[in-house]
């Protein structure tokens, strides 16, 4: 089954993670990892209600670490774990994260 996470900062700056050949991350481990990243990075809820939706959490983490975390080879292992966690949590074959517009689409 196709599994792909795309993180973008506009059309020209997209980072694609193909996860077909990668061991999937268990759902509970993915939730724990994303929760920990959200907390460690000091992310804030995107909604005025203070409620943190999963898609909002994913965008907030990508926004907090910045494009370099996805672009630079030194950070590739972190970016790969991020992609695996996103794929496991959202359970969609293709996930697109558009950081400037703060959106996640499937």
Quote the mean pLDDT of the chain. 92
Whether the per-residue pLDDT at 51 is higher than 80: the answer is no
Structural domain total, the chain? 1
What is the model's pTM? 0.91
CA distances from 79 to 48, 50, 61 (A): 28, 26, 11
- Residue with the larger pLDDT of the pair 94 and 49: 94
Whether the per-residue pLDDT at 80 is higher than 80: the answer is yes
Whether the per-residue pLDDT at 50 is higher than 70: the answer is no
What pLDDT was estimated at residue 20? 86
- Residue with the larger pLDDT of the pair 24 and 32: 32
Structural domain of 15: 4-105
């Amino acid at each position: 089954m196709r599994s792909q996470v795309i993180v973008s900062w506009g059309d020209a700056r997209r980072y694609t993670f193909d996860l077909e050949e990668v061991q999937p991350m268990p759902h509970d481990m993915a939730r724990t990892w994303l929760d920990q990243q959200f907390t460690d990075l000091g992310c804030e809820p995107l909604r005025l209600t203070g409620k943190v939706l999963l898609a909002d959490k994913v965008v907030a983490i990508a926004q907090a670490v910045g494009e370099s975390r996805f672009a630079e080879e030194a950070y590739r292992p972190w970016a790969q774990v991020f992609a695996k966690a996103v794929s496991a949590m959202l359970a969609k074959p293709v996930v697109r994260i558009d950081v400037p517009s703060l959106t996640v689409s499937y």
